[in-house]
Amino acid sequence: MAEFTLDLNDDQKQVRDWLHGFAADVIRPAASEWDEREETPWPVIQEAAKVGIYSLDFYAQQFFDPTGLGIPMAMEELFWGDAGIALSIVGTGLAAVGVLANGTEEQIGTWIPQMYGDANDVKVAAFCSSEPDAGSDVASMRTRAVYDQAKDEWVLNGIKTWATNGGIANVHVVVAVVDSELGSKGHASFIVPPDTPGLSQGQKFKKHGIRASHTAEVVLEDVRVPGHCLLGGKEKLDQRLARARERAQSGGERVKNAAMATFEASRPAVGAMAVGTARAAYEVALDYARTRTQFGRPIIDNQGVAFQLADMRTQIDAARLLVWRASWMATTGKPFESAEGSMSKLYASETAKKVTAQAIQILGGNGFTREYPVERMHRDAAIYTIFEGTSEIQRLVIARTLSGMPIR
Ligand SMILES: Cc1cc2nc3c(=O)[nH]c(=O)nc-3n(C[C@H](O)[C@H](O)[C@H](O)COP(=O)(O)OP(=O)(O)OC[C@H]3O[C@@H](n4cnc5c(N)ncnc54)[C@H](O)[C@@H]3O)c2cc1C
């Protein structure tokens, strides 16, 4: 087990500097254009694929870094470049992690390469869980998966919403209800292979921020997938459902559902994205405050401005420490006894919203225009308190964990 240290090792520093270079030279200069176009930045994803950033290998290397700091460090640098483009680059990773966490070795080997494609023909993947009536309340999911034993096929019907890369993905990972009596424990995940009839894109959302990332509804109408597309396989699913039914009948101890446990562990990664956006806005504001002159002196000479920057930097560093702690705990198998994963996401995402708003204030009128990047960063930052569990849901998780009470 890796001892915790705040010193990045030489390999980590090299990766960080390489990512920072890509973020500064390729992502940041393209940010404004793709934000305005509100389209997936395919050429930038292709560049990332060419240098090896958009690949399973790179993602897996960071994921399995024994210190736990690989993923947060990578997310911070890429999202420092631009949140919308970075989400287009890492969005496939959400679906890939779904397969890595629940799939068999054969499923991992078959589907993950198809999610990424290759540098000459890049592909993306989508993870589809949320529905119009099942956002925070995942147990209200309605999309059904019914097994057709005669054909060894699963038939999926329902509407998914808010899916990053939904409808444009080569591979969709879809979460569906297989036993409606069991709430979220009766859910299972399915691969929908490329060009499967019945899957179509619904509405594409026009968003407030992260506009370079494609977000859409995914409609599933009698989508038939082969039995081997059930992640983990039928035998494992049947065993899991049998255990859940037994527990439900005996009124036994409430066991944390696997998806929720995965979310708890993945939340620090979203916290790290928020740290990247916050740091980017803080740096622009610091630079501006040093050079903008009013009343015959740089505006940073005023405590009213300098103290704001002091608070911004302090909160960013505090957020990063919470993120790193949670990532280290998740990687080294330490249980989140105080919901440390949720704490890191809550604090970092709220910090990003606050810091980006302060950055606009420090830039004055310029901050309010699209000539400067902080207004885009502020629009982007709003997503962090919403996806992968809203701030209210993080507080609910933390409060329930601390109190042991079913707080509502
Ligand atoms: C840009 C974007 C990308 C996304 N990408 C994906 C994706 O790739 N795949 C995917 O499956 N989903 C994705 N999502 C969905 C996202 O995870 C949900 O939007 C989120 O979980 C919130 O659900 P909701 O929007 O239905 O809000 P709701 O659950 O309706 O919540 C509305 C408000 O009520 C509050 N609230 C709800 N319940 C409680 C409670 N018990 N106590 C206190 N407050 C409460 C919430 O905090 C929120 O403020 C994405 C969303 C967006 C906007």
Domains in the chain (CATH in brackets) are: 10-122 (1.10.540.10), 125-250 (2.40.110.10), 258-403 (1.20.140.10)
**Whether residue 324 has its Cβ less than 6 Å from ligand 1:** no
Confidence of residue 255 (pLDDT cuts 50, 70, 90): very low
Note the pLDDT of residue 251. Answer: 67
Note the pLDDT of residue 19. Answer: 98
**Which residue has the CA at smallest separation from atom 9 of ligand 1?**
163
For range 222-240, the mean pLDDT: 97
170: pLDDT strictly greater than 50? yes
**Whether residue 136 has its Cβ less than 6 Å from ligand 1:** yes
**Whether residue 384 has its Cβ less than 6 Å from ligand 1:** no
Mutate to test the pocket of ligand 1, among 90, 130, 140 (most ligand atoms within 8 A of CB): 130
Residues 43 and 48: their CA atoms lie apart, in Å, by: 9
Tell me how far the alpha carbon of residue 389 lies from the centroid of ligand 1, in angstroms: 6
Note the pLDDT of residue 118. Answer: 93
| Percentage, residues of the chain above pLDDT 70 | 96
Among the residue ranges 60-74, 161-175, 209-223, 359-373, the one predicted with the least confidence is 60-74
Tell me how far the alpha carbon of residue 349 lies from the centroid of ligand 1, in angstroms: 14
Note the pLDDT of residue 131. Answer: 98
**Whether residue 170 has its Cβ less than 6 Å from ligand 1:** no
Residues 352 and 319: their CA atoms lie apart, in Å, by: 9
| Angle, vertex CA 47, rays to CA 45 and CA 51, nearest 5 | 115
For range 136-150, the mean pLDDT: 97
For range 302-314, the mean pLDDT: 98
**Whether residue 135 has its Cβ less than 6 Å from ligand 1:** yes
Determine the atom of ligand 1 nearest the C-alpha atom of 91.
8
Mutate to test the pocket of ligand 1, among 386, 391, 400 (most ligand atoms within 8 A of CB): 386
Determine the atom of ligand 1 nearest the C-alpha atom of 165.
8
Note the pLDDT of residue 17. Answer: 98
Note the pLDDT of residue 60. Answer: 87
**Which residue has the CA at smallest separation from atom 12 of ligand 1?**
130
228: pLDDT strictly greater than 50? yes
| Percentage, residues of the chain above pLDDT 90 | 89
Determine the atom of ligand 1 nearest the C-alpha atom of 175.
11
4: pLDDT strictly greater than 80? no
Note the pLDDT of residue 167. Answer: 98
Note the pLDDT of residue 374. Answer: 98
Q: Which two tokens stand for residue 321?
A: 């420490």
Find the helix packing angle between 258-291 and 340-367, rounded to 10°. 30
CA 256 centroid distance within chain: 21
| Nearest alpha carbon to residue 196 among 114, 119, 120 | 114
For range 327-343, the mean pLDDT: 93
**Whether residue 189 has its Cβ less than 6 Å from ligand 1:** no
| Mean pLDDT, all residues of the chain | 95
Residues 237 and 224: their CA atoms lie apart, in Å, by: 18
Residues 164 and 387: their CA atoms lie apart, in Å, by: 11
**Whether residue 97 has its Cβ less than 6 Å from ligand 1:** no
Note the pLDDT of residue 101. Answer: 85
Confidence of residue 247 (pLDDT cuts 50, 70, 90): confident
For range 80-90, the mean pLDDT: 98
DSSP-H helix ranges across 228-371: 234-250, 258-291, 303-331, 340-367
Query: Mind giving me the DSSP string for 196-259?
Result: -TTEEEEEEPP-SS-TTS-EEEEEEEEEEEEGGGBTT-HHHHHHHHHHHHHHHHHT-PPPPPHH
Q: Which two tokens stand for residue 344?
A: 């890191």
For range 361-372, the mean pLDDT: 98
For range 38-55, the mean pLDDT: 97
- Decide: 58 and 71 in contact? Cβ < 8 Å: no
Tell me how far the alpha carbon of residue 179 lies from the centroid of ligand 1, in angstroms: 23
Tell me how far the alpha carbon of residue 95 lies from the centroid of ligand 1, in angstroms: 18
For range 330-353, the mean pLDDT: 95
Query: Catalytic positions, please?
Result: 388
For range 200-217, the mean pLDDT: 98
Write the pLDDT tens digit of every residue in 96-128.
988 988 899 999 999 999 999 999 999 999 999
**Whether residue 85 has its Cβ less than 6 Å from ligand 1:** no
**Whether residue 129 has its Cβ less than 6 Å from ligand 1:** yes
256: pLDDT strictly greater than 70? no
91: pLDDT strictly greater than 50? yes
User: Sign of dihedral through CA atoms 186, 98, 174, 233?
Assistant: negative
For range 259-267, the mean pLDDT: 68
